[in-house]
Chain A
Amino acid sequence: MKLTFFLNGREVTCDISPEMTLLTVLKELLHVNSVKRACLQGECGACTVIVDGDAMNSCLILAATVGGKHVETLESLGDSQHMHPLQKAFLDTGAFQCGFCTPGFIMSAKALLDKNPHPTEEEIRYGLSGNLCRCTGYVKPLEAVKAYVAAQSDIKVNEDAVQAVKAAAEQMGGAH
């Protein structure tokens, strides 16, 4: 069975068997590195990709149903030379530890921010509630998204908001 879809803007054609999920196609056939395989039950969010603007678990999408659609993975945001500001925000706040859930987290954050550029804290938590992380307690990842939103907002970039995130960790006692 032939499948044609757009992966990160590039048209891709591959030969799949009908019962393959999009995750299997991305991992076993196309060797996409950023999409992670973990729970296969649509509950951990590590395999989150953006399909036509919506964040979805690629382990619950039958590959045959994405014919002609636009699938975006973390590789579409930018590489280490020229990073997307959202990636830079996660880097600067030291938001991740083991980094296994990072790609899924950033894709969910991007999908959330594409629809709602200035979310409140509650909306950020609600938008990222489909991504599980065991290392960070979600403190710094949420900080990173808030710092990105602050940096992107139209009002003059609030320098001390981004600095506060850095200073908070360094000041002895690190109290937020």
Chain B
Amino acid sequence: MYEKQDYEVIGHSRPRNDAPGQVTGTVQYVCDLHLPGMLYAKPVLSTEHHARILSIDASAALALPGVHCVATSADAPDYCYGVTDHDTPCLAVNKVRYKGEMVACVAAESYALACKAASLVKVEYERLPAVFDPRDALKPGAPVIHDECQGTSYEGNLLLAGPGKTLKLRVGDVDKGFAESDVILEREFCTNPQKPLPIEPFATLAAPDDEGGLTVWSTQQCVFGIAEHVASIVQLPMSKVRMVAPAVGGGFGEKNQVGTEPVTALLAKLTNRPVKLELTTEESLMFTGTKHPMYFTYKLGAKRDGTLVALKWDCVTGCGAYSSVAKLISGKVAFWGAGPYLIPNQWSDVKIACTNKQIGSAMRGFGMGQPTFALEVLMDMLAEELGMDPLELRKKNMFRDGEHMSTGQAIRASGIGLCLDKVAEASGWGK
């Protein structure tokens, strides 16, 4: 245990250890790495929201001198990955599920040539009906997006999470709580799919080494987590795949799932040449993940003096075309919907629905931002109803050291009171 004391080094500001390199421009990111004989890759993104792929004709592209390879899912047939459910292919397999999904990827001598070749790849689609609102996706008769994993991962468009198909929290008895409450507020909230969008878009450089393995430099947030996926797509043991993250230009959660790493490694293996795939910001906007949009119904019961008695929140999370981290995020929404407040009766019900939208990825806040928005606005609505000062209402119900959270965990080193006082004093709240 570390007792509270002042330290020599800790607690005193220092510039970052690579700051001199930053301000003189010598820090190397993936876009600054160059290898002799390096090919440039350009993805072919789907132009359909939901369609069956009838044919991919790359002959015109391959005919161009200097184009080395056009990779499609046929080059890695049994490759599938996913954080909780294995439902995500590297390149679309016989069906595209969102506009911007990668269908093929071209490797050529120069970036301009790769762009030209990518425009010559003809993909024939058979358009299927698409659904975009998670609440519509759960209605009967909605077009089914994942027909292969029915029963195992999905039931219609509902991603099966938790024992009872949805994620629940049952603490105390909300009905009894609402009966005892003087004031009950029920509102609907919804939050928008924000993009993490670090200024550096996804970029990966994969180079075969002389032992038959691969070295992959990539802008990613977890080297070991993604090495496993790269190893499985090129069918090499993990010892043969070396993943390196040089300086990374921001991530905010977008770069901790798989991005362009497997497809670049596949191209490097097929062409046996170093290959660099750099997405432009436009491709990054279309292809990679966003914050999960969520649709809440919050019901809060409280006494006249401001004591919170019962809270019930239902949520439909839109996980986009694939599952990715939707279950982990919805688990946090289901469990921490009551925020830093002591509410004896808490019930929650969170459903996850897949739609033909971009994949929901992790983003700074990881499932805590959305319920915080709903609850904190509802607290202000309650304060207005009771005629109380919003700050007082929060301080009346907040966690206190030594007590237990309504879900049973011990409260240790709770800083919510310190934070509220600090910002109230600094901003002159109430004056």
Contacts and interface: CB of A to CB of B under 8 A. Distances in A.
Given A80-B21, A91-B19, A100-B199, A39 B249 contact: no
Contact of A36 (B11, B16, B200): B200
Interface stretch (A50-58, A116-124, A127-135, A154-162): A127-135
A31 B34 contact: yes
A17 B112 contact: yes
A22 to B, nearest CB: 14
Contacts of B9: none
B25 to A, nearest CB: 3
Nearest to B281: A39
B274 to A, nearest CB: 14
A28 B111 contact: yes
Given A20-B112, A36-B31, A102 B250 contact: no
Contact of B29 (A78, A94, A100): A100
Given A39-B282, A73-B25, A96-B23, A101 B199 contact: yes
A99 B200 CA distance: 10
B74 to A, nearest CB: 30
B12 A170 contact: yes
Nearest to A165: B13
Contacts, number: 129
A32 B23 CA distance: 15
A11 interface: no
A-side interface size class: 35 or more
Contacts of B31: 27, 36-38
B22 interface: yes
B199 A134 contact: yes
Nearest to A101: B199
Nearest to B31: A37
B200 A38 contact: yes
A78 B20 CA distance: 11
Contacts of B252: 134
A44 B23 contact: no
B278 interface: yes
Interface string B1-28: 0000000000111111011111111111
Interface in B24-76: 24-29, 31-32, 34
A12 interface: no
A74 B25 contact: yes
A46 B16 CA distance: 20
Contacts of A92: 15
